[in-house]
Structure 1
Amino acid sequence: MVAPERWNFPGEGVGAPSRYGVLREYLTVTFHRVVEQDRVATAADGSLAAFDTGLLTPFGEDVYAVFSPNVGDIAWKLDGFATAGSGELGARLVATLPDLPQPASYLERVEDVVCQPGRMLILDTAALLGEQVGRLPRAFLADQLADSPEASRLLREGVDAGSGRLGRGACRDLARAIKADPSLYRRMARALQDATSLSLRLAQASFRMAAPAFDPATGTMRLLLPLCLVDDGVADCAMSLELMPSGAYRGAAILSLPRAYACARVVSRDQSAWLSPEIVL
């Protein structure tokens, strides 16, 4: 129904059992948000409920998710998606609801979109080089770990043959090896700090660099910045920045580019150029 977009994660739909992972994540977070904002419309007689998905058809029509009562622990079941007044579902929608539901909203202040100048940047290196170490680019890890035979071995042997990623146990072992070598830990922390600081300066010079994203776990906004850890000018992952009450930016999460795209797409269809494949900054 909706206008064509990039809704698959890489590899989905090519010999994989699932498809449209980006769309599933979009709808899940959107539903969470409209519930939080009390924007799910329910018929007075309890016969129908609906929410605005925030998506448009190729003709610019709003797409609504429509529900009917369900017997059992789950109160509602999804009947499908409709535009107002079109088809059986669309006709029920306008015949039952006096007002159509409003879409979710996210952006409430300029800080939700623009990186503010003069703010301190703090990275949670314990998290970034701990349980999240496997999210860093493999080439970056190989280069940083080259002088540590044990850490290099853990990196080589920890890659899962099926997914091509570091397994959870391998990430834990690698994180322990990094933290056991203070000079290695400091060197990697400096590399992350330098890459994030440069990206933040670029984002302060151009507001289109930062990609707003919503964190449903905390109900707060994040700013995603590209990190060029392997080749200058080529983004290979993203740093998630949280604006703290003190005014400082805290970086505590690394995201792959596909994951960053999915998170940013929840907020807006218009995406920063670096979230497109093979874009050079």
Structure 2
Amino acid sequence: MRGQLSVFAYLGHVRPAEERQAGTGSADSFDELARMAVDEPWDRFSPAERGSLAVLKHYVTWTFEQSLVTDSVVPSSDSQTCIFNTRLVTPQHEDIYGLFRPNRQADRQDWYLAGWRGAGALQLDAYTELPQATAYSQDPHAYVFDWDLPVTFVARQFTLTVSSLFPAALREIPLGLELALEGAVNRAIDIAKRNPGTAVPAWQPGKAELQLLLPLYLANPATPDAALVISRGNMAYRSTAIVSLADAYKAARLVTRPTAHWLNPPM
């Protein structure tokens, strides 16, 4: 597991993805969380990872990291437990918290993950105030596309690094992919101007930056091939990357469960 979660706490048995997909091996804390939370398609866009809970593990790792940054990992007054808000809820709309206990084993992390608890659990009675769900920006405008700002994009900067995401026919035509990308980006901007909800907020942990995702349609006008990542500046949005739909969904899910139709096709 990447990130500070595995540095902060011993996670115990983590079931290999292969076993989870095959339905073998013993369940782990991520299986427990998936069962406890409102049901979600945690492996959307990743047929090879289907059943692995890869998106959920990515989500928990970086939600905990943001909780650390915002001082939202809170110990109890007697230091016998420590909790953070996962930003997930039960089907009864109770917030779900990650619960840690002191690790008594030598040469281990100071805490171990004891599981997940709904807001009404007895183990949380030690807290006079439970930590709130963390936010990635206090500026509400950061989550919404501003159609008055231009979007800068230079196709040549992306064609070599992202060509594998697009149809082979475009890669075989001189300047085919470059011209197709320019057209796809212009179309994405037009779509977002007509419907700002098309732009999906996403979190980039490496840059600690809230960004927006726009769909890129090249082969099929009804199904996007990839997503354009844009970052807001003072005078314009800057195009920073083109990512697969699987990576787009992972980044978007850190902020909220995406509702835009292009990131929620029928399973």
- TM-score normalised by structure 1 residue count: 0.74
1:197 equivalenced with 2:216 (yes/no):
no
Cα distance between partner residues in 2 of 1:98 and 1:224: 39
Among 43, 65, 84, the residue aligned to 2:119: 84
Residue 100 (structure 1) aligns with: 130
> 1:196 aligns to what SS in structure 2?
helix
Q: Render the CA deviation track for 1:85-139: whole Å, top value 9, x for unaligned.
A: 43xxxx2222x222211111124334323222242322354552233332x22x2
1:120 equivalenced with 2:171 (yes/no):
no
Among 242, 260, 265, the residue aligned to 2:248: 260
Change (3 A) 1:59 1:214: same
1:243 equivalenced with 2:232 (yes/no):
yes
User: In the alignment, is the contact (CA less than 8 A) between 2:170 and 2:177 conserved in 1?
Assistant: yes
Cα distance between partner residues in 1 of 2:157 and 2:188: 20
- TM-score normalised by structure 2 residue count: 0.77
Q: CA deviation at 1:204?
A: 1.6
Among 205, 209, 220, the residue aligned to 1:220: 209
> 2:259 aligns to what SS in structure 1?
coil
Residue 150 (structure 1) aligns with: none
**Matched ranges for 1:180-191 at <5 A:** 184=174, 186-191=175-180
Among 170, 192, 196, the residue aligned to 1:144: 170
Q: Unpaired segments of 5 or more residues in structure 2?
A: 1-35
Among 82, 105, 109, the residue aligned to 2:139: 109
> 2:91 aligns to what SS in structure 1?
coil
Residue 53 (structure 1) aligns with: 86
Cα distance between partner residues in 2 of 1:263 and 1:98: 33
Residue 47 (structure 2) aligns with: 11
Residue 28 (structure 2) aligns with: none
User: In the alignment, is the contact (CA less than 8 A) between 1:85 and 1:93 conserved in 2?
Assistant: yes
Cα distance between partner residues in 1 of 2:114 and 2:206: 27
Q: CA deviation at 1:188?
A: 2.7
Change (3 A) 1:124 1:39: farther
Cα distance between partner residues in 1 of 2:48 and 2:169: 30
Pairwise CA RMSD: 2.2
> 1:133 aligns to what SS in structure 2?
helix
- Say how many residue pairs are matched: 229
Cα distance between partner residues in 2 of 1:238 and 1:68: 40
The sequence identity of aligned pairs, in percent, is 30
Cα distance between partner residues in 1 of 2:152 and 2:258: 28
> 2:262 aligns to what SS in structure 1?
helix
Cα distance between partner residues in 2 of 1:110 and 1:45: 37
Residue 69 (structure 2) aligns with: 36
User: In the alignment, is the contact (CA less than 8 A) between 1:213 and 1:264 conserved in 2?
Assistant: yes
Q: Unpaired segments of 5 or more residues in structure 1?
A: 148-183
Q: CA deviation at 1:41?
A: 0.8
